[in-house]
Amino acid sequence: MISRNVYTHPNEKDALMVSTTLVNHASYAQPYPDVQIDFSNVRGELIASRRFRPEEYLKLDHEQTGLLQSGSQIAFGLEIRDPGSHAITYEFSFH
C-alpha cells in the first residue's frame, strides 16, 4: 500500500470514503488480495472490521487476468458505514 485515506463521505450521512493505492513490488504477478480495514478505539479495542474481496473493490473486465502485474499499481475507493466516534484509529491488512 503506497497511499491511503479515510474521510467523511461528502454526500452520505454516517458514511466514510476510503481511497487507497496498492502496488506489486514483487518480481511476479500476484492475485489481488482481500483488503481488510479494522477500526479501533483509544484502548486499541476493535470497534468494527470489514473485509473486501477483489471483485468488491475492483472493476475487472473480461480482458484482465485477475492478477496484479509486477510493478503495477491499482487505485480504488470504497464507501463504508462510519463505525462511530469511538473508532479513532484504522489499520489495513491484506489476505
One digit per residue, pLDDT tens: the chain, 95 residues? 999 999 999 999 999 999 999 999 999 999 999 999 999 999 999 999 999 999 888 876 545 567 899 999 999 999 999 999 999 999 999 99
Of residues 72, 15, 74, the one with CA closest to residue 48: 15
Q: Is 44 left (phi over 0), alpha (psi -120 to 50) or beta?
A: left
Q: Cα 52 vs. chain centroid, distance in angstroms?
A: 7
Task: Name the DSSP letter for residue 24.
Answer: -
What pTM was computed for the model? Answer: 0.87
- Give dist(CA 85, CA 95) in Å, integer: 27
- Give dist(CA 22, CA 4) in Å, integer: 9
CATH number of 3-94: 2.60.40
